Amino acid sequence: MSTIVITGTQWGDEGKGKIVDYLASKADTVVRFQGGCNAGHTVVADGEEYKLRLLPSGILYKGTLNIIANGVAFDPEVCLQEMDAMTARGIDTSNTRISDRAHVVMPYHRLMDGIGDAQRGADKIGTTGRGIGPCYMDRDDRIGIRVCDLMEKDEFAKKLKRNLDIKNGELAAVYHHEPLEYEEVLKEYQGYAERLRPLVTDTIPLLNEEIAAGHKILFEGAQATMLDIDYGTYPYVTASHPVSGGVTVGAGVAPKKIDKVVGIVKAYCTRVGEGPFPTEQLNAIGEKLREAGHEFGTVTGRPRRTGWLDAVVVRHAGLLSGIDYMAVTRLDILDGFDEIKICTGYKHKGQLLKGVPASLNVLAEVEPVYETFSGWKTDISGIRSYDDLPENARKYLERMAEITGIALGIVSVGPSREQTIVLAKDLF
């Protein structure tokens, strides 16, 4: 048995796509276990750039089984658009399997997501408006429509009618929006159902059979720890569980079947949307990080907020997900800095805090405690051995591991697969 979970340790956009792609090249099966098309992975393969939103990263490898599991908020329109785009580029998507238990994102979810967040005014979450939160809300309210319902023509028609009766009332009374037309939505989604039907299955036995057969399984999530619905900077979070524990409920796999957890750590910090960000640099340093790292959203194109590495956050992620190794990404973005900082702790009203506080009022008031490192001021993108990295880069990495308590497993010095230095010997 060889199963690896990839989880983001910060606020997302850590470069998970690069590491997932590297490990996916060695995997037999790649599983997306949570989130929706509101997040994306950018993968560079053979000089080609691919922006993935719902399809697992194993889609780029012929013969790899790709599973969209039950924990995903599944948007059939986006999935088909993505599959068509891949096919146009010569990539076979027929080895994709979609869980019949996944909940379906509907048009009213997208409407309510966008309009609802706008109505919050100054308290807006900063959602992408893709309907993910409202889809999960309906799941928890037990009125969700699942992929298995979409596959049953009469059942889907019945549930759509029931839900539109409810949602159109809400759209009019709460959101001041015209109603959705039942026949239009029915026809649209029935068309999706027919195209997707050959790919839909019960992925729980399929996945567990793959594990029992000793195949190499890679679990990839979207977003990251600080956007987890329970453990992140609530309410400025996503609506699911990107931590490693999300695999058990999001893919139907027992905890004891997880072998290793790899946490993706960007060498600095970014976040999108609202909420406290203790190490944010609203200055020339922040702008330099944004420009050097091309820090704009994969799906939305929004400029990301930028700051120094927050080791308190990474340590928090390590505790929550039982991270065995950190994969440090985008180290090369720091090549041009004279000095670099790591936040090692938070002070609040003179007291050193042990971890990330639940209260956003407290988190917004904390004073980051920094350690400062001399930069290496040289291009590291061509380096392929850890020992060949500049001494100052190694000092930075090794102190990062010491503060967080997580061993170094992978160091990325650029976007391409070959720009990957692997230290861990017990991954795929």
Residue 38 is assigned to a ligand binding site: yes
Residue 270 is assigned to a ligand binding site: no
Q: Which of 21, 28, 41, 117 is catalytic?
A: 41
**What value does the mean pLDDT take over residues 288-310?**
88
Residue 53 is assigned to a ligand binding site: no
Residue 127 is assigned to a ligand binding site: no
Residue 299 is assigned to a ligand binding site: yes
Question: Is it the case that residue 156 has pLDDT exceeding 80?
Answer: yes
- Predicted confidence at residue 330, as pLDDT, reads 97
3-state per-residue secondary structure call for 137-183: HHHHCCCCCEHHHHCCHHHHHHHHHHHHHHHHHHHHHCCCCCCCCHH
Q: How far apart are CA 225 and CA 233, in angstroms?
A: 9
Residues near 282 by beta carbon (within 8 Å), at least 6 away in sequence = none
Structure tokens at 278: 């203790």
pTM above 0.85, yes or no: yes
Residue 13 is a catalytic residue: yes
Maximum CA extent, the chain: 66
Structure tokens at 203: 């992925």
Q: Walk me through the domains of the chain, giving residue ranges and CATH numbers.
A: 3-99+200-261 (3.40.440.10), 103-197 (1.10.300.10), 264-422 (3.90.170.10)
Residue 41 is a catalytic residue: yes
Residue 20 is assigned to a ligand binding site: no
Question: Is it the case that residue 299 has pLDDT exceeding 70?
Answer: no
Angle, vertex CA 134, rays to CA 9 and CA 225, nearest 5: 5
Question: Is it the case that residue 129 has pLDDT exceeding 90?
Answer: no
Residue 374 is assigned to a ligand binding site: no
What are the two backbone dihedrals, phi and then psi, of residue 227, each rounded to the nearest 5 degrees? -110, 5
Q: What is the pLDDT of residues 210-248, one digit of tens each?
A: 999 999 999 998 889 999 999 999 999 999 999 999 999
- Predicted confidence at residue 38, as pLDDT, reads 78
Q: What is the pLDDT of residues 391-409, one digit of tens each?
A: 999 999 999 999 999 999 9
